[in-house]
A and B are shown apart, each in its own frame.
Chain A
Amino acid sequence: MRNTKGRNAFIFAFLSPAVLIYAVFLVWPLLQSFQMSMYRWRGVSRNRKFIGAENFNNLFQDPVFWKSLQNTGTLLVVAGIATIALGVLLAHLTDGDGAVRKFARAIYLFPQVISLVAVALIWQFQLNPKYGLVTDMLFRLGLPVRDPGIVRDPRYAFSAIAVAFVWHALGFFVLLFSAGLKQISGEIKEASALDGSEGWHRFRHVTWPLLWSVKRTAITYLLIHILTVFALVFVMTEGGPDRGTETIVSYLYEQIAKNGQYGYASALAVVVFGVSMVASLAVLAYFRKDPTAGARA
């Protein structure tokens, strides 16, 4: 009995700093956002007025909100599929312990370790209509990318954000899928080879199903990453041209920084939170039962 008490105190002592930080910097601001979403508040004084669900009513009638939600969803599908497909492909190509492969994995990881603002600046330079390397290459390929310039051209701006996102995120997913590939037992690989399953057939029927838990992690990460994407949009396009790349979080920022509508911005934050939670829970529910659990090393 005494031992149990001592053990509990020991656990509590180690857990409490983390729980405290979590409560102060995550739970409390989150609760405050919920509260603020029901107020009209300019954020410059203590004056605020309770308006119930009015912010949400206005939000659901706001065409820019729906446009930003649509853009975020499109980015999720386009950049999400591209990131996973390229992640799996590059994980296969760099699978193994050779020095070159390890070096390649490190190279792919590099954009992940630099700040997203720096990533956005790099791409802003690359896409500059006058001296951008990527603009120049695309122009030489015959694409009309110099006027108005990629980031202000409704034909290309969204793709530019998607490409920059994939470039930034890819390394992490290469690493993730590499780890997943390592988990697949050598016996399974050997057995499938003996059965004549090679190449695409083996990937489709053996490798891909066995990456079940990695896929769950990858999709959850992508969801949260993309639903909250901000710095790329803010620095590269500011949501333009004409809302063409506006995402939910960039619109949220506009409500605070430009319009001083803290209540409305909080309502947007609550929606982002809700969408993230529902989507993440849906992914976790779908991937909950791993049918291949016993098959990995």
Chain B
Amino acid sequence: MKFVVALASIALAAGLAGCNSGSTPEAKETTTPAAGGKLTGALEVQAFQGGYGIDFYQASAKQFEKQHPDLKITVEGGPRVWESLTPRFANGNPPDLTFPGWGMKHWDLAEEDQLVDLGPALDGKAAEGEGTWRDTFDPQILALGQLKGVQYTLPYYVMIYGWWYDPEVFKKNGWTVPKTYSELLTLSDKIKKKGMAPITFQGKYPYYMIDGMLLPWAQSIGGIDAVNAAQNLEEGAWNSPAMLQATERIVELKQKGFFQEGATSMSHTEAQQEFVQGKAAMVPCGSWLFSEMKKTMPATAKMEYFLPPFIDGGKGDPTAVLIGIEPWMVPTEAKNKEAAIELFKYMTSLSVAKKFVQEKGTLMAIKGSDDGELPDVLKVPSKTLRESKAVYSVQFRHWYPTLSTELENGLTSLLNGQISAKEFCDRAEAAADKVRKDPNITKHKV
């Protein structure tokens, strides 16, 4: 019996609690041209309740219901909603529209024909203005939801990865934001001498460091091609000179004592709390940082975004930005697909998207949604994204989870001094090779 209890506990395993921001959204009335005419019946939406909550989606649904009185929409969710959604997909009883969150293996859903091809809907008329719905999205971001040219998922908000600092602390100490790695070393030395930890990181979840240091520095050295070659499992890409040199930078920062003591053990919130309390000067994180930490931030703390310092002399693009999305989708077995698509079209209309940007403090995949006055914390990420000549995204984590796990384990051993930079890269390459040679794993291309 204990064994069964243990297995049951797997399903009920402790989750990361999302922090709902509890806003009072109201969406502007828009004319939503339902392609097929009248929308009726029940429409179930299941959404991941993370840092941005689900209140905005609920309010949007209410607005949409007003335009379609014969439609009854329910929007529910949870911080680990994918755990309840997975068996529903398996049993052929999924919701009509879903944002299942980071834990859902949505590429598995796509490969198993569980998701509707949204391409034809994108070619239909947009909810507002002229042109197609497709025209309203940033095409580079839209491409992140495609598999072999088929649009299985759609983006909503966009996460920008980078580093953060407190401008007040920097100003008070006469520090300037490091644009290059050599500037980072000089600055970190000064910060350390002040008795402050230069950099903290979310060591319990090493993918933060992979996204915040390893891949941006590999991009600095070898260009986006170096990162994408690795994601595409090209032979030798994970232990390429670019990856090795990027890894050596992490080792150098560790050996110089520029990482906060104990950071390897810290969860995301623990490390970020150290940052907002001024115990560490910089932290790598995505653009959700403010939303995640605002409840526990001291009133005097500020945070500002900057791109990971560029490796001096690298052949990469100093303006390139690492972005990410958490996709929405319509299941093949949804009972009210048409209404689901129309609701999401309404949610991604420019006026609603602008509202989301304002209320939730994140950027969106919708063109023009960051026009106008932005929340302070978004001004620099928005400017950085607009000025970037290229964007790239981490996709291998969802494609090849075993490779991702091996990278994370190797990174912990690297930080603990158990393996060298070369051994780390060789381990990564060996894990990539294992995936490459496994005929049962579908291979993807960036």
Stretch in contact with the other chain, from B9-17, B122-130, B164-172: B9-17
Kindly name the residue among A127, A153, A257 whose own CB sees the greatest number of chain B CB atoms within 10 A: A257
**Minimum Cβ distance to chain B for residue A296 (Å):** 27
CA distance A154 to B413 in the complex (A): 9
CA distance A238 to B204 in the complex (A): 8
**A26 close to chain B: CB less than 8 A:** yes
CA distance A125 to B1 in the complex (A): 30
**A10 close to chain B: CB less than 8 A:** no
**Minimum Cβ distance to chain B for residue A27 (Å):** 10
Q: Which of B7, B103, B203, B274 contacts A269 (CB 8 A)?
A: B7
**B29 close to chain A: CB less than 8 A:** no
CA distance A97 to B315 in the complex (A): 78
CA distance A257 to B80 in the complex (A): 11
Evaluate contact between A231 and B410: CB separation under 8 angstroms.
no
Whether A149 contacts B265 in the complex (CB less than 8 A), given A225-B2, A228-B3, A230-B10, comes out as yes
**A276 close to chain B: CB less than 8 A:** yes
Kindly name the residue among A45, A116, A224, A269 whose own CB sees the greatest number of chain B CB atoms within 10 A: A45
Evaluate contact between B412 and A44: CB separation under 8 angstroms.
no
8 Å CB interface, A236-274 against B? 238, 240-243, 249, 252-254, 256-260, 269, 272-273
**B187 close to chain A: CB less than 8 A:** no
Evaluate contact between B3 and A46: CB separation under 8 angstroms.
no
**A148 close to chain B: CB less than 8 A:** yes
- Look across to chain B and name the residue whose beta carbon is closest to the beta carbon of A151: B265
CA distance A225 to B405 in the complex (A): 27
CA distance A43 to B108 in the complex (A): 9
**B92 close to chain A: CB less than 8 A:** yes
- Look across to chain A and name the residue whose beta carbon is closest to the beta carbon of B274: A130
Evaluate contact between B402 and A257: CB separation under 8 angstroms.
no
Evaluate contact between A146 and B204: CB separation under 8 angstroms.
no
Query: What count of chain B residues pass the 8 Å CB interface test?
Result: 45
8 Å CB interface, B338-397 against A? none
Whether A228 contacts B412 in the complex (CB less than 8 A), given A42-B105, A47-B112, A148-B203, comes out as no
- Look across to chain B and name the residue whose beta carbon is closest to the beta carbon of A54: B440
**A175 close to chain B: CB less than 8 A:** no
**A195 close to chain B: CB less than 8 A:** no
**B86 close to chain A: CB less than 8 A:** yes
Q: Which residues of B contact A254 (CB under 8 A)?
A: 405
Evaluate contact between A44 and B264: CB separation under 8 angstroms.
no
**Minimum Cβ distance to chain A for residue B113 (Å):** 7
**Minimum Cβ distance to chain A for residue B75 (Å):** 22
Q: Which of A128, A227, A242 contacts B418 (CB 8 A)?
A: A242
Q: Chain B interface mostly helix, strand, loop or mixed?
A: helix
Q: Which residues of A contact B180 (CB under 8 A)?
A: none
**B6 close to chain A: CB less than 8 A:** yes
Evaluate contact between B6 and A129: CB separation under 8 angstroms.
no
Evaluate contact between A249 and B6: CB separation under 8 angstroms.
yes
CA distance A17 to B440 in the complex (A): 44
**B415 close to chain A: CB less than 8 A:** yes
Interface 0/1 of B82-124, CB less than 8 Å to A:
0000110111100000000001010011001110000000000
Q: Which of B90, B409, B440 contacts A243 (CB 8 A)?
A: B409
**Minimum Cβ distance to chain A for residue B101 (Å):** 12
- Look across to chain B and name the residue whose beta carbon is closest to the beta carbon of A47: B112
- Look across to chain B and name the residue whose beta carbon is closest to the beta carbon of A240: B412
Evaluate contact between B10 and A253: CB separation under 8 angstroms.
yes
CA distance A146 to B204 in the complex (A): 14
Q: Which residues of A contact B263 (CB under 8 A)?
A: 148
Q: Which of B3, B264, B418 contacts A272 (CB 8 A)?
A: B3
Evaluate contact between A45 and B265: CB separation under 8 angstroms.
no
Evaluate contact between A42 and B264: CB separation under 8 angstroms.
no
Evaluate contact between A152 and B265: CB separation under 8 angstroms.
yes
**A291 close to chain B: CB less than 8 A:** no
Evaluate contact between A44 and B416: CB separation under 8 angstroms.
no
Q: Which residues of B contact A243 (CB under 8 A)?
A: 409
Interface 0/1 of A205-228, CB less than 8 Å to B:
000000000000000000011011
Q: Which residues of A contact B14 (CB under 8 A)?
A: 117, 120-121, 231, 234-235
Evaluate contact between B440 and A40: CB separation under 8 angstroms.
yes
**B270 close to chain A: CB less than 8 A:** yes
Evaluate contact between A25 and B4: CB separation under 8 angstroms.
yes
CA distance A148 to B262 in the complex (A): 5
Whether A241 contacts B103 in the complex (CB less than 8 A), given A128-B270, A149-B264, comes out as no
**Minimum Cβ distance to chain B for residue A201 (Å):** 37
**A29 close to chain B: CB less than 8 A:** yes
Evaluate contact between B261 and A146: CB separation under 8 angstroms.
yes
Q: Which residues of A contact B418 (CB under 8 A)?
A: 154, 242
**A164 close to chain B: CB less than 8 A:** no
- Look across to chain B and name the residue whose beta carbon is closest to the beta carbon of A48: B90
8 Å CB interface, A97-133 against B? 116-117, 120-121, 127-130
Q: Which residues of A contact B90 (CB under 8 A)?
A: 43-46
CA distance A228 to B86 in the complex (A): 24
**B401 close to chain A: CB less than 8 A:** yes
Q: Would you list 19 pairs from A and B whose C-beta atoms are within 8 A, ordered by A residue?
A: A26-B1, A42-B108, A42-B112, A44-B114, A117-B14, A120-B14, A130-B270, A148-B263, A148-B264, A149-B203, A153-B265, A228-B5, A228-B6, A230-B13, A231-B9, A241-B264, A249-B10, A259-B402, A273-B3
The 5 closest A-B pairs by CB, nearest first: A149-B265, A129-B262, A148-B264, A228-B6, A45-B112
- Apart from A149-B265, A224-B3, A225-B2: 20 A-B pairs, beta carbons within 8 A: A29-B7, A30-B4, A42-B105, A44-B86, A46-B90, A46-B91, A47-B112, A147-B261, A148-B264, A151-B265, A152-B203, A229-B6, A235-B14, A241-B409, A242-B418, A254-B405, A257-B10, A258-B401, A258-B405, A259-B401
